Structure 1
Amino acid sequence: MTHPRDGQHLILGRWQDADGQDAVDAAARAAEAAFPEFAALSRDARAGFLEAIADAIEARADAITETGAAETGLPTARLQGERGRTTGQLRLFADHIRKGDYLDRRHDVALPDRQPLPRPDLRMIQRPVGPVAVFGASNFPLAFSTAGGDTASALAAGCPVVVKGHPAHPETGRIVAEAILEAVGRTGMPAGVFAYLDGAGHQTGQALVRHPLIRAVGFTGSLGGGRALFDLCAARPEPIPFYGELGSINPCFLLPAAMAARGDQIAQGWAASLTMGAGQFCTNPGVVIVPADKADAFAGAAAAALADAPAQGMLTDGIAQSFRDGVAAVAGAATPVTVAEASGRNARPAVFRATASAFLNNPDLAHEVFGPLGLIVAADGDAQMLDVARALDGQLTVTLQMDEGDTDLAARLMPVLERKAGRILANGWPTGVEVSDAMVHGGPYPASTNFGATSVGTLAIRRWLRPVCFQNLPDALLPHDLRD
């Protein structure tokens, strides 16, 4: 598929040729100019804008699916489902801001007669931070990209957004950007409330996070790329928050009673989750920790479940090569269970096994490999399983496969795992992230750069807000949502 507009930038509703710095400066200045008006709009007006974006995306459904499939190789059904998730997120945030609970409004009434000192009238509310930069993700061309969760939550908060599109799906990003700009015009939003920047190089992204008018950054991608941008944000003369979701091995602890009762079933479930979408999910369950006396049977069942797994297309040639490099690196430190070769942009599953001692002594085995690669870690007893848990880096998810007889061991694991992950599951698989009020998609570093935030669910809006206290101000000067 050709992209005749590569190297151009959709700014304020028009395509223009520009280098990275000039395009970023134009978009950031327009966003800053739009901010006062956009932040002052009623919650209902912003909600209507989000709903108009969802409508405009749905009106382009066929074009988005066709273009997305051609660019990424993702199947039609996956793209249709992801489009529904994208529009659903927009409508969820519209409902969320209409309710107003996210504002966390607090009021300490004045106590003029309090002794020994009077108390002033104090009112607190969450207010938008300003223009936000959002980086599109490679593996979700819709739900984590141009109009994805970062963009939806930032617009809901009252922050203009400048999106840096991902080079893996530039034309899909442009179609969605045009839908957003149509909604801008239809609802009368201020010009500059949204801009889309593309281009395959790093120059545009670096200029964006360095621009003094950008007040926060949302990112979903690799640890290396995210850490580089995080460091740029911290090195600015005025540092800004960087909310990066950087990936995870999503370890699964397969406890003894569950393994004795349904070990083959668990192996089949793991194999299905491991290969879903060619393993190109940030919640892919890359490591399972099993009792050593069950490891042989589990490995055999997993190999049988994967025996006929077809080759699946990776998102880009670069991602496919990185997967092959990751397989080669693990092969040097672990024993192969099943390794199926594939060529070009395709991938087939690769599963290895190692002892818990080897896992604990080789940090390379705990690194994420983006794709359908799984590692079976054989733990010699409950104590070694706990040792593995303690050694883990921060994770997006941790899973417990357990039966009633495993409750005591699970209870000993929980205080450790709670400090390691943003989401803990029992008897499920982490692939598939519900978009809801209670969801947390984040975790301690390196899963994300801010353990107090989530990139999925309504709590994601809090990343783009800051508390402001107003002391003894008359109603006429207060934000509308604070007035009596």
Structure 2
Amino acid sequence: MSGIAGVSATAVADAAIAAARAASTPTTREARAGWLEAMAAALDDDRAELVRLGNEETHLSVARLDGEVTRTAAQLRFFAGVIREGGYLEAVVESPDPSLIPPRPDLRRILRPLGPIAVYAASNFPFAFSVLGNDTASALAAGCPVIVKAHPGHPLLSRRTAALATRILPPGWFALVEGMDAGTELVRHPLVRAAGFTGSTRGGRALYDLAVSRPDPIPFYGELGSINPVVVTRTAAAERADAIGTGLVSSFTRDAGQYCTKPGLVFVPSGGGVEDAVRNALGDAPSSRQLTDGMSAAFADGVAAFSARPSVEVLRGNAADGASAPTVVLVDADTFLADPAPFLAECFGPVTVLVRYDDPQQPALVAALEPSLTATIHRGTEEDVTALAAALSAVAGRLLFDGWPTGVAIGWAQHHGGGWPSTTATIHTSVGATALRRWLTPIAYQDAPQLVLPPELRDGNPLRIPRRDS
């Protein structure tokens, strides 16, 4: 149900949400798991055409897009397994105990679906965080109908993917809308119970403000800007400066630097060899086109702003026509600490900031950081970085050692989140099994008859889910 000529955004949103509301009837976990697996199979079957459309609209490589289809299908199958297992429901059964003060009645608690969910698709992952991406998959798994607002950067691909979903899902469980007005109407609509967003801080903040200023505020789970700081210790630089430098360039230039987990700020020891390795690797780094002309222009403006600052050196790699050149911004620790804000703002694209430090400056640099999705430490063999890890864990949702943050594995233990400005809800994740938790709310039953209870809470645990009984 995309935008239709002559039909208002309000009417389009109303129709989609009304259908979703009508579909909000109880379903079984097994039925929803079957839907997710069928959509995963359909993605695999339609892979060639989906990748072709994605390549035409986003400039991302065929290999990258093909891998992303694989990831998106894996996410759908992963959530099918999560809901079959049942532990995500956090089911608890407590028997009556009249000896307590106050006496405890029969209490049974479980998580239940919130209702229709609005999902705002991302530009940089046209499959994995788009129409049938992680937010949609987790919301459907939780038992919530979904209305997706398509990203304007890949409209044909969005419609093709939506058609695939509507062939499989029952009526009302999925709809696609397009256009800024329709997206605004979604988050305002009284029947929408929560929203998930992946995109810019500015766009996410605007929708977040609408969500919390409604007469009935709703949760808004936005993944916004993140610089993903990296600290290279002096011992690590002495042991493997070349590997760290080349690895950094490979990471921040990957797919034109259009990753929310791109390492955008790197603290390196002065004279430690990492800077030289980065300079050498930059000459071989590929240039690449960004997703939209607007993103290319914003990237150029961001690099120009760095270049205009005093005591800042800007290195640029090679750039083909119409492509963004990989860029490294070099600055010393004193300049950074005098005014950190410009270096802490995300610049979307193939750029990273290297801050040279002397050892006594490292704690002050870390203390200046804002929350991010990730933080990374490159340490020497057997080097104790306990204090550094404790400091970085306070500002990051995921703490890595001796690697790069641009891959986000799908799993039960994954956390893809962080404090503002990286996300709007630091205790939640948009990747991994507990991504479902965003679309669920608790309900407790007191002295309820068995027929009223969900099967997962009935005596004897008939569905054999993980459950706390006492």
Same-fold call, TM cutoff 0.5: yes
The CA deviation string for residues 199-257 of structure 1, in whole angstroms up to 9 with x for no partner, is: 3xx21111110001000000000011011111111110011011000021111100011
Is residue 392 of structure 1 aligned with residue 332 of structure 2? no
2:113, 2:10 → 1: CA distance? 25
C-alpha distance in 2, partners of 1:448/1:442?
A: 6
Alignment partner of 1:157 is 2:132: no
Task: State TM-score, norm by structure 2.
Answer: 0.94
- 2:36 is matched with which residue? 50
Q: Retained in 2: the 8 A contact 1:129–1:466?
A: yes
The counterpart of 2:215, out of the listed 210, 234, 237, is: 237
In the superposition, the TM-score normalised over structure 1's length comes to 0.92
Aligned: 1:259 with 2:237: yes
Match of 1:176 in 2: 161
In the other structure, the counterpart of 1:358 is 335
Which letter does structure 2 place at the counterpart of 1:50? L
Q: Contact 1:356 / 1:388 at 8 angstroms: preserved in 2? A: yes
- Equivalent in the alignment of 2:468: none
State the match for 2:132 in structure 1. Answer: 147
Q: Which amino acid aligns with 2:305?
A: A
Partner of 1:3: none
Q: Which ranges of structure 1 fall in alignment gaps of 5 or more residues?
A: 1-7
* Residues 455-479 of structure 1: per-residue CA shift (max 9 Å, x gap): 1111100000111111111011112
Shift in Å, 1:330: 1.3
Report the Cα distance in structure 2 between the residues aligned to 1:275 and 1:340, rounded to whole angstroms: 11
Q: Separation in 2 of the partners of 1:416 and 1:378?
A: 19
Q: Does 1:32 align with 2:9?
A: no
Q: Is the 8 A contact 2:286 2:318 kept in 1?
A: no
Report deviation, 1:117: 4.2
Hey, what's the Cα distance between the residues in 2 that align with 1:117 and 1:421? 42
Amino acid at match of 1:93: F
- Tell me whether 1:326 sits opposite 2:302 in the alignment: yes
Output the aligned Cα RMSD: 1.5
Give me the whole-angstrom Cα distance separating, in 2, the residues matched to 1:241 and 1:116: 35
Instruction: Map Cα deviations across residues 236-286 of structure 1 (whole Å, 9 max, x no partner).
Output: 001101100002111110001110111111101101101111101000111
Which of residues 85, 94, 115 is equivalent to 1:108?
A: 94
Question: 2: distance between equivalents of 1:117 and 1:104?
Answer: 24
1:144 alignment partner AA: F
Cα distance in 1, alignment partners of residues 213 and 118 from structure 2: 16
Corresponding residue for residue 446 of structure 2: 471
1:316-364 deviations in whole A, cap 9, x for unaligned? Answer: 0001111101101111225225214647641111111111222122211
For 2:20, what is the secondary structure of its paired residue? helix
Question: Are the equivalent residues in 2 in contact too, given 1:320–1:344 (CA < 8 A)?
Answer: no
Contact 1:127 1:468 in 2 (8 A): yes
Of 2, 26, 30, which residue of structure 2 is paired with 1:9? Answer: 2
1:289 equivalent to 2:267? Answer yes
* Number of matched pairs: 457
State the partner residue of 1:411: 386
Task: Report matched runs for 1:78-93 at 5 Å.
Answer: 78-93=64-79
Partner residue of 1:61 out of 41, 44, 47: 47
Deviations 1:18-51 (A, max 9, x none): 221111111111111111x2xx111111100111
- Tell me if the contact between 2:34 and 2:80 (Cα under 8 Å) persists in the aligned partners: yes
Cα distance change on mapping 1:309 and 1:206 into 2, 3 Å? same
Residue number in structure 2 paired with 1:210: 188
Does 2:11 align with 1:22? Answer: yes
SS in 2 for 1:57: helix
Query: In 2, distance between residues paired with 1:471 and 1:240?
Result: 26
Look up the match of 2:286: 310
Note closer, same or farther for the CA distance 1:183–1:345 as it changes in structure 2 (3 Å cut).
Answer: farther
Structure 1 stretch 444-453 or stretch 353-362: which is displaced more?
Answer: 353-362
Change in 2 beyond 3 A, CA 1:210/1:344: farther
**What is the deviation of 1:59?**
2.0
Indicate the SS of the match to 1:162: strand
TM-superposed deviation, 1:293? 3.2
3-state secondary structure, aligned to 1:9: coil
Q: State the alpha-carbon separation in 2 of the partners of residues 155 and 180 from structure 1.
A: 11
